[in-house]
Structure 1
């Protein structure tokens, strides 16, 4: 029996009057097939049929992983030629691809084997599907968030003067693996003036007493990601530092409260940005307010000035304002947030 996501995709293919859809993006393939193999296979989808083209090396493995899931798995040495044969066999002329998710090399091969005039662009095909999570996806994301929060709380107890940023980052990864998950990205540990870089690369610098330390981390559980950031106060901080910390905390609370069904993603960004700007630090907020999260740690919808997506129940986003005082310190606070029927649910609130 075809899987839920395959049924969704075939329904969209039919509704969009698409003859045939080629999927080559690893994350879209994972969403479609459930096979977590980075590269080495393509999927070919029509309204009524689904094929996987793969190499001899992966053919048995993918066949086993997709057994009874509605796919015909075909071994191939030259994917583009096998694709041409499939199109001929099912009587289909045109092939749709997402131009933003296909490599130049694959495009060249398709132009040669299928023909430029037969290849039709279909941008953002998977985005609207992946934006709204089903019950199982939400369950996996919640578990990912719970594990990330558990690991953060454990690591926080070990954050002391004299330990290095690299040591903390490594400890986070060690505990994630011990809890049966992997990092959704390399953890960021930024202390003191280095915390003024939003995407600081962990260094061998030691933490100092009275530093502000940004820890940005996440877990990946059965393919689904979480993302959280906390700013730890290592001792006592001055009035200015505390004012910025309180501002970011307040801005994040306003952003989370603004996140609800029917609201455009840009509205959440505007709410957060206005709070920080009105306090006089608009130019110190150096990035967007947040992003969607799921199979990828950064995916649609964008919670930014360019965000045009209307939030719906089942969407999972982050809200992560930050204020960065150049060469001095930075504060960022982030949570993973589920949009619900009546509002929102913060999934990483257990991280204290």
Structure 2
């Protein structure tokens, strides 16, 4: 069938996690035989930093304004079987309202930022979505699952809230037989709410394990941070280097944003990518984490500096290997882009079947 995405960006992975998520999902939908379009508002900060593979078989189209979007792609949006508006789309409220008024197929809001979105809505910030728009979508596809789906339906009046987690591309993330360069590494852009955890779970252990090497990769860290001498800093690490980066670590650290911890059930793409590389992950704790990975067997959890130091000291190489392999097996079984594409079509079929039986509410196909 014909599926149209209107998203933040697929052409550039610069400064955002949307592009890689969309790329994997759209590639797999195309591989399953669907005709897929991605409509992107052409912005200079993305056009100047494009790393898009033009060999992909889905259709990427740019628009300069919402008026242009409506004029050039109105017919496509009207006739497509499914139209999906993503979070953080420029002028997203106007775009979402237009899609709801125009599309004859199933409409969905794809929230790649669910914890941030709900926090913004609760504060009255309607940058790209309003509470009034939510019930107008046939599906609310959420990066957060579990209890969050009930919250979306019961408190925010979503018709059907379904989890569509981030995923990993197995062709890009896989085990490599490389010499380990760092005992513990972390990949993540600086954020004020994550930094205390980075301090407790990496910087403080590095001070106490001066003979071991640590690494932090990612931009935006303030100059005043006092990094121990055994902590290497990499300001920017291009996506194509992430796999090797993970494979050079004995352990990799996963640190979660405050909004994601508060909401729970919000795995980051870094979690799945590191697991796909077979590298044992040490994560901070949040509700829902152990529903995805079994603590002790598929993931290790450190709640403070002492627990982190115990893990680094007491986990044998055999245990490291077993935990990394078990996490990779879990990801390959349930969290690849191919799995997400199949889930999306399942959700479409669910709505479409309700239409055919006359029990779909406002849906009109």
Is the pair's TM-score, using the shorter chain for normalization, greater than 0.5? no
Give the TM-score, by structure 2 length: 0.37
Q: Which has the higher strand share?
A: 1
Larger Rg: 1
- When normalised by structure 1's length, the TM-score is 0.38
